[in-house]
Structure 1
Amino acid sequence: MTAKGLPTISPYALPRAEELPTPRAPWKLQRDRAALLIHDMQNYFLRPFTSGADPLVTVVANIAALAQAARKAGVPVFYTAQEGDQDRRDRGLQADLWGPGMSAAPAHQPILAALAPQPGDFTLVKHRYSAFQRSNLETLLRARGRDQLIISGVYAHIGCTLTAADAFMRDIEPFMAADALADFSRAKHDLALAYVADVCGVPLNTAQILEVL
C-alpha cells in the first residue's frame, strides 16, 4: 500500500521557455482579462522541498515578481490556503490518499512569509484539489470582468492542474506559469504542463507573463 503524506522532493531544474509544450488552445494572455492565482504556498506544502535549492528558490522569486506586477497593473491576486486540523468529515477522500493533512500550527498553516497576501488581495479557503470547489473564486472573477486565470504555486500536477481543468470547464482561460510552479519531481512537473497544454490551457514562463502585466 502506498504511504500517505507528502514525499521528500529532490532538487530539479525548472523548464525553460523552449521546453514548454505547444498548447492546443490559441488564447493570448491579456492584462485586462487576467487574474493571478497563488496556489497553496503554505509552509506545510513547502517543507518537502530542499531548502535553498530549485525548484523552490526560483519559484518563490517568480511568484513574488508576478504578484508585484499584478498589483501594480490592477490585476486581482488570489491565494488559496487550506485550514489546519480539518475535521475528517470535511477532509473527505483526501484523507484516504494524503492522511490527516496539516495542523493549525505556525509551522504548517501560514502562507510563506515572502509571499504573504497584501491589502486588496483575496485569500480563499481551499477544500479540494481545485481552487473553485466550495469557494467563490468564479463569482469574484466574474464580478471583476476577469475570464483568464494565471496559475502559480504547488503542486503542479495536482491542485494546479485540476484548477486549470475546472477553470476551462467554467469558460475561464487558464495559463500555467510554468516556472512559477513546483511539483514532486521534474517528471510530474512536465506531466502537468503537457496535460494542460493538450486539453485545457496555455503554459507560459514568468518572463512572458510579466511582459503582458
Structure 2
Amino acid sequence: MSDLVPPRSELVIDPTRTAVVNVDVQRCFVENTPLAAPDGPDVLRRINELVGACRAAGALVVHTRSWMRPDRTDVGAVMDRLVPPFIVALYTAGAESAELHPDLDVDERDIVLDKPRYGAFHATELELVLRHRGIDTVIVTGIATSICCETTAREAAVRDFHVLFADDATGTQDMAGVDAATLHRATCASLSMVFARIVSTDEVIRTVSDDARALAAR
C-alpha cells in the first residue's frame, strides 16, 4: 500500500488573523534536565526566527508554560498517577526550571499563558483571546512535539482553527524506548492527515512576509 499524502495547496497566511502558539519553551524543556529535547537550543533558535518574523508582520505571539501549583492541588489524576513528582517539580511555579528560557524572544506585546494540562486550550483563556482578536489560524511551535505541541494542535483543530505545525521549530525527547527523531516524524505524519499542515520555519517566514506586504498594498 502506498503512503497517503495530504494534498498541498498554496500556503497563505494573513498575519492579522494568525497567532503563533509557542508551547512550553521553558528552561526544563530546552536543556539540562531529563525533559529536555536533545536539540532544544537549535529548536529555540528557529522558534525565535519564526516568532520574530510573524510578530513583525502583525501576528499575535502567545508563549505557554506548563505550570503547576506548588501545593499540587491542580496536578490531577493523570499526572498524579503517571508522572513522578520530581518531574512535575521541574515545571511547578516558583522553580527556576519552570521559567521561560532566557534566550527566548519575548516581547511586551506577546501573551504569556500558564496552562495546567498538556494542551494550551484546556482550562485556559486561549480560545477566548483568539476569538476576541478575530484569529482563525494558529501556528504551533515549541516542545515537546509529541505531547504538548501535538495536544495543542489537535485542540485547535477541533475548535475549527486552521493549524500550521512547524516541523523544525518543534522538538521532543526519547520516550519509552522510542528515539526522539522517530517520535517527531510519527507525530508530524499523524497530524498531517487530518489536524494540521506541516510547515518549515523558512516557509512560514517567507509566506508571512509576502502576505503581509500584499495586505499592506491593498
Deviations 1:52-104 (A, max 9, x none): x9622321111001111122111000011122554333111222222231244
The alignment-based identity, stated in percent, is 28
Residue aligning to 1:59: 43
Q: Is the 8 A contact 2:29 2:35 kept in 1?
A: no
In 2, the alpha carbon distance for the partners of 1:186 and 1:48 equals 18
Which runs of no fewer than 5 residues in structure 1 stay unpaired?
1-20
User: Which stretches in structure 2 are left out of the alignment for 5+ residues?
Assistant: 174-179, 209-218
Q: Which of these residues, 67, 76, 91, is aligned with residue 60 of structure 2?
A: 76
Deviation of the 1:105 alpha carbon: 4.5
Would you say the 8 A contact 1:49–1:56 is kept in 2? no
Distance 2:107 2:139 in 1: 18
Q: Using the alignment, how far apart are the partners of 2:190 and 2:170 within structure 1? A: 15
1:31·1:212 contact (CA, 8 Å) conserved in 2?
A: no
Instruction: Call closer, same or farther: CA 1:139–1:28 in 2, change over 3 Å.
Output: farther
Determine which structure has the larger helix proportion and give its number. Answer: 2
**Normalised by the size of structure 1, how large is the TM-score?**
0.81
Name the larger-Rg structure.
2
Deviant stretches of 4+, over 6 Å: none
Structure 1: how far apart are the matches of 2:60 and 2:160? 18
Q: CA deviation at 1:211?
A: 0.8
- Give the number of aligned pairs: 192
SS of residue paired to 2:74: helix
1:177-188 to structure 2, matched below 5 A, reads 177-184=166-173, 185-188=180-183
Q: Which residue of 1 aligns with 2:205?
A: 210
After superposing the two structures, state which structure 1 stretch, 56-65 or 149-158, moved more.
Answer: 56-65
Per the alignment, residue 195 of structure 2 pairs with 200
1:125 aligns with 2:114: yes
